[in-house]
């Protein structure tokens, strides 16, 4: 029965924690891990998960010992568990600080999303897959999973042999896992630090391509300058709803890019029959790094036939 009572108590602690989160978020439970742009924050999510895991583990292990008559608080919290909590909290705070610093300087522009999505946790603000976020979540899930398995093992030992000095604390997290977590969180923050390209405005902000391709100029910061003889910097380009657009030769600079909207190329060419206008999301990839924001371009074309 010790194991059952311990797990139920741990789940009770988890439910209390989740209830408090619901109280903060109102009818939308994920609001607590949203950023100011209405997107789910990966750094807040891993901080939330670690807090939930440690709260469950502490109450479960304490209950297992209490059932056997030892009602004293757990004597210590292992070094690596404290580091894991510190990592998650520090990454969350640092990520928010970097974003606010860049936004304050105008280096990035954070456009709010209409709705958040689970996909936000593994994609950037343009919707493109983000390897640094994916890596961070993968090692977070692995570390938490192994930590909880060790918690269950600790409870089982208490059930079989009663409280001892060896089980008077939480199980520790393996050092190799701590290194992997540290590297993934460092990579996540490092990517945020090198996020430089930010879109400001378009001119014009609407075009008519009924008679053929139209030219649009994109203004911003941090686009980078191409090497001599190259049209764009390496691994750079302009996208329209995720499709690559043609950059006008000789126009790419650190603050301005001119590109064309061609009705015979995607995304306009993919519009359904009868559709003759729509809003395209314009983004920039500079040296392999997607811009932190997009701008809208309204396009009018001749209706496509069925």
Q: Please, which residues bridge with residue 215 across strands? A: 260
16/222 Cα distance (integer angstroms): 46
The answer on 228 and 184 residing in a single domain is no
Residue 133 lies in a domain: yes
The answer on 135 and 70 residing in a single domain is yes
Q: What is the pLDDT of residues 110-146, one digit of tens each?
A: 555 667 778 888 887 666 677 888 888 898 899 999 9
Which pLDDT band holds residue 195 (cuts at 50, 70, 90)? Answer: low
Residue 62 lies in a domain: yes
Which pLDDT band holds residue 148 (cuts at 50, 70, 90)? Answer: very high
What is residue 172's predicted lDDT score, i.e. its pLDDT?
Answer: 86
Name residues whose C-beta falls within 8 Å of residue 184's C-beta, 6 or more positions apart in sequence: 132, 135, 136, 138, 139, 140
CATH code: domain of residue 279: 2.60.40.10
Q: Which domain holds residue 285?
A: 198-300
The answer on 21 and 149 residing in a single domain is yes
In the listed set 134, 162, 193, which residue is the last one of a domain according to the structure?
Answer: 193
The answer on 217 and 103 residing in a single domain is no
Residue 230 lies in a domain: yes
The answer on 165 and 114 residing in a single domain is yes
Residue 164 lies in a domain: yes
CA dihedral 216, 217, 220, 222 (to 10 degrees): 100
The answer on 128 and 11 residing in a single domain is yes
64-81 b/e with 16+ CB inside 10 Å = b?
bbbbeebeeeeeeeeebb
Q: What is the pLDDT of residues 150-167, one digit of tens each?
A: 999 999 988 888 888 877
Mean pLDDT of 41-48: 85
The answer on 218 and 71 residing in a single domain is no
Residue 174: phi, psi to the nearest 5? -55, 140
Arithmetic mean of pLDDT over the chain: 82
Residue 239 lies in a domain: yes
The answer on 288 and 237 residing in a single domain is yes
Which pLDDT band holds residue 241 (cuts at 50, 70, 90)? Answer: very high
pLDDT exceeds 70 at position 207: yes
Instruction: Centre a 10 Å sphere on the Cβ of residue 271 and count the other Cβ atoms it contains.
Output: 17
Residue 305 lies in a domain: no
Which pLDDT band holds residue 97 (cuts at 50, 70, 90)? Answer: low
What is residue 244's predicted lDDT score, i.e. its pLDDT?
Answer: 92
Which of 16-30, 226-240, 261-275 has the least mean pLDDT? 16-30
Q: Can you give the pTM of this predicted structure? A: 0.61
Residue 241 lies in a domain: yes
Report strand pairing: 295-300 vs 206-208. Answer: parallel
pLDDT exceeds 90 at position 90: no
The answer on 63 and 38 residing in a single domain is yes
Domain count, the chain: 2
The answer on 207 and 126 residing in a single domain is no
The answer on 248 and 174 residing in a single domain is no
The answer on 125 and 46 residing in a single domain is yes
In the listed set 171, 193, 215, which residue is the last one of a domain according to the structure?
Answer: 193
132/121 Cα distance (integer angstroms): 10
Which pLDDT band holds residue 201 (cuts at 50, 70, 90)? Answer: confident
In the listed set 193, 211, 241, which residue is the last one of a domain according to the structure?
Answer: 193
Which pLDDT band holds residue 35 (cuts at 50, 70, 90)? Answer: confident
Name residues whose C-beta falls within 8 Å of residue 136's C-beta, 6 or more positions apart in sequence: 42, 43, 46, 91, 184, 185, 187, 188
What is residue 96's predicted lDDT score, i.e. its pLDDT?
Answer: 67
Residue 306 lies in a domain: no
117/99 Cα distance (integer angstroms): 20
């Amino acid at each position: 029965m010790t194991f059952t009572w311990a797990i139920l108590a741990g789940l009770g602690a988890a439910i209390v924690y989740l209830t408090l989160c619901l109280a903060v978020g109102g009818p939308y439970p994920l609001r607590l891990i949203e950023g100011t742009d209405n997107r789910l924050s990966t750094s807040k999510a891993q901080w939330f998960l670690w807090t939930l895991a440690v709260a469950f583990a502490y109450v479960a292990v304490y209950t297992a010992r209490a059932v056997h008559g030892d009602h004293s608080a757990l004597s210590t919290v292992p070094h690596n568990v404290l580091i894991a909590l510190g990592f998650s909290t520090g990454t969350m705070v640092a990520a928010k600080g970097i974003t606010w610093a860049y936004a304050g300087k105008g280096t990035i522009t954070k456009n709010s999303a209409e709705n958040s999505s689970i996909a936000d946790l593994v994609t950037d603000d343009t919707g493109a897959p983000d390897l640094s976020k994916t890596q961070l979540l993968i090692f977070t899930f692995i570390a938490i999973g192994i930590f909880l398995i060790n918690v269950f093992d600790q409870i089982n030992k208490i059930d079989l042999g009663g409280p001892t000095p060896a089980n008077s604390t939480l199980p520790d997290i393996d050092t190799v896992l701590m290194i992997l977590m540290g590297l993934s969180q460092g990579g996540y923050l490092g990517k945020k630090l090198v996020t430089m390209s930010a879109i400001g405005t378009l001119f014009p902000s609407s075009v008519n391509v009924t008679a053929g391709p139209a030219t649009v100029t994109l203004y911003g910061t941090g686009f980078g300058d191409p090497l001599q003889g190259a049209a764009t910097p390496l691994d750079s380009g302009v996208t329209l709803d995720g499709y690559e657009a043609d950059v006008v030769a000789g126009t790419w600079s650190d603050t301005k890019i001119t590109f064309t909207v061609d009705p015979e190329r995607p995304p306009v060419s993919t519009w359904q029959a009868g559709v003759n206008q729509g809003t395209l999301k314009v983004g920039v990839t500079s040296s392999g790094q997607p811009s932190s924001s997009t701008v809208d371009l309204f396009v009018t074309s001749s209706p496509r036939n069925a």
